[in-house]
Amino acid sequence: MANVTAFSLKGLNFFFQSKRANVDGKAASQLVKFIQGAKHSLDVAIYDMKNPDVLKALKQMSSKVQFHILYDAGKGSKVGPGSTTVDPKSSQSTTEQAIIAAGLKKFAHPVQEKGSHLMHDKFIVRDGASVWSGSGNFTNGGLLLQDNNFFTIDSPAMAAAYSKTFGDLGGPGHALSHAKGIQAPPTTVKVGGVNITVFFSTQFAEGEGIEAEVQKRLKGAKKIRIIAMLISDAGILASLLALKNKDIKGVVDPHEMKQAATIFPTTAPPFALK
């Protein structure tokens, strides 16, 4: 199989990144290019952001377009500064400090979730017409080192769905969604010839809907390919286990899976850890 680093369709672009597997979709430079392409506005929702090229690009655009940043206000996991694969997010190295150092503080607003919840979104809405999102943070680890995927969608309708979530995240009542179970239905948009359905989660009510959708898609499947850092949801694991005699292969993070298995003994997927 060819080493695919990027893939494009009408209105859709995908970029894959993995230093371990020698896959370089140029995610960092593609993200900078996306930011610099703004004509009117940039709304950035990000869990962690420290990559200097991204911060520099945002600073350059901050005087040219309407610009807002929402970022997670939690401390995150305590990872030492010597890590070569994971971005440190400690009291000595936070997204807020990076934002301040880049001169972006007046454009940024912290999002403090309740309890152990994270504001884990990673997306940008550009000009109300295009979206950047994916699995990786805007950090050296997320854009250069780790196994991640990123995509852009050119669709005003899809951008509107992300913009609504951006507004909800920054709204004064956002934290109440964890306690009251406010639900947001999925949005389906046709981009080119592809139907795309996007789900957003507050980690309270919508999470069950997302689980049910994954289980629905797995039911009766004959061939399954999975790539995930961690699979610990009991319902999804049960659905995968029911397919153990089918053509099922996957790649997960063995460290994360083993940690979860100490808490949830049923988290072993029906395929080998890679």
pLDDT in tens, 177-227: 555 555 667 889 999 889 999 988 865 555 567 888 899 999 999 999 999
Domain containing residue 100: CATH number: 3.30.870.10
The reply to whether 99 and 214 lie within a common domain is no
CA pair distance 22, 268, nearest whole angstrom: 28
130 with 249, same domain?
A: no
Report pLDDT for 230.
Answer: 87
At 240, is the secondary structure helix, strand, or coil? helix
Q: Rounded CA gap, 74 and 97, in Å?
A: 13
The residue type at 98? A
Strands 66-72 and 108-111: parallel
The pLDDT of residue 93 is 65
Do 231 and 119 fall within a single domain? Answer: no
| Single pTM value for the model | 0.87
In a shared domain, residues 88 and 214? no
**Residue 84 — left, alpha, or beta (φ > 0 → left; ψ -120 to 50 → alpha)?**
alpha
The answer to whether residue 1 is domain-embedded is: no
Structure tokens at 139: 């950090």
Please report whether residue 51 resides in a domain: yes
- What's 125's DSSP letter? E
Q: What percent of the chain has pLDDT over 70?
A: 78
Q: Are residues 216 and 157 in the same domain?
A: no
Indicate the DSSP class of residue 271: S
Region 94-116: what's the mean pLDDT?
Answer: 89
Q: Judge contact between 249 and 225, C-beta under 8 A.
A: yes
Pick the residue with more confidence: 190 or 173? Answer: 190
For residues 97-107, average pLDDT: 96
Residue 11, sorted as left (phi over 0), alpha (psi -120 to 50) or beta, turns out to be left
253 found inside a domain: yes
**Which of 14-28, 65-79, 101-115, 189-203: highest mean pLDDT?**
14-28
Alpha carbons 18 and 26: distance in angstroms, whole number: 10
Asked whether the beta carbons of 45 and 166 are under 8 A apart, the reply is yes
Last residue of a domain, one of 130, 152, 187: 187
Asked if 167 and 72 sit in the same domain, the reply is: yes
Q: What pLDDT sits at residue 179?
A: 57
Domain boundary among 159, 187, 215: 187
**pLDDT at residue 33 greater than cutoff 60:** yes
114 and 68 in one domain?
yes
* Domain count across the chain: 2
- List the domain range (segments joined by +) for residue 211: 206-263
Give CA–CA dist 140/88, Å, rounded.
Answer: 10
Query: Do 156 and 211 fall within a single domain?
Result: no
Domain membership of residue 274 (yes or no) is no
Last residue of a domain, one of 131, 159, 187: 187
171 shares its domain with 240: no
107 and 70, same structural domain?
A: yes
Backbone phi and psi for residue 198, each to the nearest 5 degrees, phi listed first: -115, 135
What is the predicted pLDDT for the residue at 1? Answer: 44
The answer to whether position 74 is within a domain reads yes
User: Quick check: 209 and 244 in contact, CB under 8 A?
Assistant: no
Radius of gyration of the chain (CA): 19
Strand 41-46 and strand 122-126: pairing? antiparallel
Query: Is residue 13 one of the residues assigned to a domain?
Result: yes
> Would you give the distance in Å from CA 181 to the centre of its chain?
22
pLDDT at res. 81 = 46
Q: Note whether 145 and 258 are same-domain residues.
A: no
Say whether both 114 and 157 belong to one domain.
yes
Neighbours of 39 (CB within 10 A): 10
Give me the chain's average pLDDT, please. Answer: 85
| Lowest mean per-residue pLDDT among 91-95, 104-108, 170-174, 188-192 | 91-95
Q: Are 137 and 87 in contact (CB under 8 A)?
A: yes
CB contact set of 157 (below 8 Å; sequence gap of 6+): 187, 189
Tell me the pLDDT tens digit for each residue of 135-172: 999 999 999 999 999 999 999 999 999 999 999 888 87
